[in-house]
């Protein structure tokens, strides 16, 4: 697209996108400290409570690819507003949830709606801002993601303690309403593929495959989990064959002919897959081994996202000025890998300053990687494919998060059997499970570094 946008239009869109951007990470983290209250209200145990977050992530991954294609055909602003409306409606219904299973349905629905925001946000920013500002703008957007991830547990815990867990959905309603107000003030529409037909068959195949495959990974330690992974893998092959044969597929496989795009997406998947479980383990490590209260642990855990918030936008701006735009993601994966290697050295003898130092290293590495790599993904495909590229970026992020948590739970199941027996007598086993997970995470970071290092030449034309 060659249309130019003035600074006022760009500013309003950026505000709307940033307001909407925080919805997904907040919904991923705010409920963590509300699970006990939810369980008490509805009389469900810890296993069922785990699905409160799982179904949200599942709902978002299911709809991301179809939503990205639909937005490119019907208009990105329309789909963006539709996603906001779905989030607002489901938030109100969540407040009124009469049963636990109704709440899960609403969490899935909010995930479905938030996916529409995720796949259109980055794409609209990419269209509206020139390539010379893209790293900075995507850095701002990513900063809001990290900010929401860092404050989510604290905000969720405070709201739960003061107003009750249902009030959390009131905050999501307010954020969605604010973003809607800003985006409706913008004239015009962004439609890269006007008039193209929607691939509904591919959309259904995609959604079915994602549900079966991800539920298999999440429940890999259950007797039926591996069977679901096998079935999901077969469906994945079927989806790929459909995409290759379809004239107008829900996901253009032609994107993957761009080597820089494919390797950057794979690197992003490995990056999120290796890093998302860190917060899960550290929250338990600080409280069980470090003997900290939940509040003290929460304060310490702000170290890593603080570095990400402070540095991500700067790294995006720096990538705009660099000729070799592959360098920062490569260095970022190297620094993150150093952090993972250092995490493996954590033991039952708690060292607060060492732990804080390692968290800082990881925060710096993730800040160096995220915005520059996102900019590479969005700049490595032609204009008509940027909407679908945005969808794939969101898919690899959310899928990486789910795989990361699956890896953590699998390690715990193998070494400890269950988290229910975590106590003074099992701290050694817990640390061993943590070491197992971080060893795999380190291997994922090494592979991420290799993918960054072998990406095509730095003078590749970007759009």
Q: Do 198 and 70 form a contact (C-beta atoms < 8 A)?
A: yes
Residue ranges per domain, the chain?
A: 1-51+73-197, 258-463
DSSP state, residue 50? T
pLDDT tens string 168-196: 899 999 989 988 888 888 888 888 888 88
Residues 97-109: what's their mean pLDDT? 94
Q: Residues 305-311: what's their mean pLDDT?
A: 86
Residues 237-253 have a mean pLDDT of 87
For residue 417, the 8-state DSSP code is S
Spatial separation of the C-alpha atoms in residues 350 and 296, rounded to whole Å: 15
- Residue range 152-173: average pLDDT? 85
* Cα gap 447→357, rounded to integer Å: 24
What residues contact residue 176 under an 8 Å CB cut-off, 6+ apart? 20, 23, 84, 85, 87, 88, 91
Contact, 319 vs 264, CB < 8 A?
no
pLDDT at 116 > cutoff 60: yes
In whole angstroms, give the CA distance from residue 249 to residue 238: 13
User: Model's pTM, two decimal places?
Assistant: 0.77
Q: Dig out the tokens for 369 from the structure.
A: 């990687």
Tell me the percentage of the chain whose pLDDT exceeds 90.
27
Q: Measure Cα distances from 179 to 69, 130, 151, 182, 200 in Å.
A: 22, 23, 19, 5, 29
Q: DSSP secondary structure string, 229-293?
A: HHHHHHHHHHHHHHHHH-SS-SS-GGGGGSHHHHHHHHHHHHHHHHHTHHHHHHHHHHHHTS---
**Mean pLDDT, residues 84-90:** 94
Give the range among 142-151, 309-318, 350-359 with minimum mean pLDDT: 142-151
Q: Which two tokens stand for residue 427?
A: 């701290």
Q: Where does residue 60 rank: exposed (0-12), middle (13-18), buried (19+ CB within 10 A)?
A: buried
d(CA 378, CA 125): 10
CATH code of 1-51+73-197, in short, is: 1.20.1250.20
Sequence-distant (6+) residues with CB within 8 A of 219 are: 225, 228
Average pLDDT over residues 257-264: 85
pLDDT given at position 53: 75
**pLDDT score at 109:** 95
Cα–Cα distance between 452 and 263 in angstroms, integer?
7
Do the domains 1-51+73-197 and 258-463 sit in the same CATH topology, yes or no? yes
Nearest to 206 by CA among 159, 238, 248: 238
Q: How far apart are the first and last CA of the chain?
A: 10
Residue 378 neighbours by CB under 8 Å, 6+ apart: 122, 123, 126, 134, 138, 386, 389, 390, 393
Q: For residue 79, which phi and psi values (nearest 5 degrees)?
A: -70, -35
Higher pLDDT, 340 or 126: 340
The CATH code of domain 258-463 reads: 1.20.1250.20
Q: Is the pLDDT of residue 160 over 50?
A: yes
| Mean pLDDT, rounded, for 15-42 | 80
**Distance between CA 287 and CA 296 in Å, rounded?**
9
pLDDT band at 1 (very low <50, low <70, confident <90, very high): very low
Q: Looking at 310-392, which runs of residues are DSSP E strands?
A: none
Per-residue model confidence (pLDDT) at position 444: 94
Does residue 78 carry a pLDDT above 70?
yes
Residue 323 CB partners (closer than 8 Å, separation 6+): 458, 459
Residues 6+ apart with CB under 8 A from 4: none
Per-residue pLDDT, 46:
55
Confidence of residue 233 (pLDDT cuts 50, 70, 90): very high
């Amino acid at each position: 697209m060659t249309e130019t946008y003035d600074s006022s239009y760009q500013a309003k869109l950026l505000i709307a996108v940033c307001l909407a951007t925080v919805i997904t990470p907040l919904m991923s983290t705010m409920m963590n400290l509300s699970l006990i209250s939810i369980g008490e209200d509805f009389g469900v145990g810890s296993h069922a409570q785990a699905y409160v977050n799982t179904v949200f992530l599942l709902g978002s991954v299911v709809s991301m690819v179809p939503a990205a294609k639909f937005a490119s055909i019907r208009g990105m602003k329309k789909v963006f507003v539709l996603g906001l409306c779905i989030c607002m409606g489901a938030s109100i219904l969540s407040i009124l949830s009469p049963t636990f299973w109704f709440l899960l349905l609403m969490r899935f629905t909010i995930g479905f709606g938030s996916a529409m925001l995720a796949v259109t946000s980055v794409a609209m920013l990419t269209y509206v801002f020139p390539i010379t500002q893209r790293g900075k703008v995507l850095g701002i957007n990513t900063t809001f993601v990290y900010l929401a991830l860092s404050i989510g547990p604290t905000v969720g815990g405070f709201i739960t303690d003061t107003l009750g867990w249902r009030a959390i959905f009131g905050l999501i309603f307010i954020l969605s309403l604010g973003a809607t107000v800003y985006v409706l003030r913008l004239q015009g529409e962004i439609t890269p593929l006007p008039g193209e037909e929607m691939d509904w068959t591919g959309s259904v195949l995609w959604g079915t495959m994602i549900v079966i495959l991800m539920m298999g990974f999440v429940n890999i330690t259950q007797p039926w989990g591996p069977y679901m992974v096998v079935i999901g893998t077969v469906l994945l092959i079927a989806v790929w064959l459909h995409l290759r044969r379809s004239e107008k597929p829900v996901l253009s496989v032609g994107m993957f002919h761009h080597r820089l795009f494919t390797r950057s997406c794979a690197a992003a998947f490995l990056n999120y897959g290796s890093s998302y479980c860190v917060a899960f383990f550290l929250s338990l490590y600080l409280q069980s081994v470090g003997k900290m209260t939940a509040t003290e642990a929460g304060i310490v855990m702000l170290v890593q996202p603080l570095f990400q918030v402070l540095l991500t936008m700067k790294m995006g701006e720096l990538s705009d000025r660099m000729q070799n735009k592959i360098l920062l993601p490569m260095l970022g994966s190297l620094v993150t890998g150093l952090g993972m290697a250092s995490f493996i050295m954590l033991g039952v003898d708690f060292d607060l300053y060492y732990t804080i130092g390692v968290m800082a290293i990881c925060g710096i590495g993730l800040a160096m990687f995220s915005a520059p790599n996102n900019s590479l993904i969005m700049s490595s495909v032609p204009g008509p494919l940027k909407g679908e590229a945005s969808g794939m970026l969101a898919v690899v992020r959310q899928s990486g998060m789910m795989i990361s948590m699956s890896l953590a739970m699998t390690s715990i199941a193998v070494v400890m059997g269950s988290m229910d027996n975590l106590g003074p007598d099992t701290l050694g086993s817990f640390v061993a499970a943590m070491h197992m997970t971080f060893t795999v995470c380190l291997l994922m970071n090494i592979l991420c570094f290799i993918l960054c290092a072998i990406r095509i030449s730095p003078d590749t034309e970007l759009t």
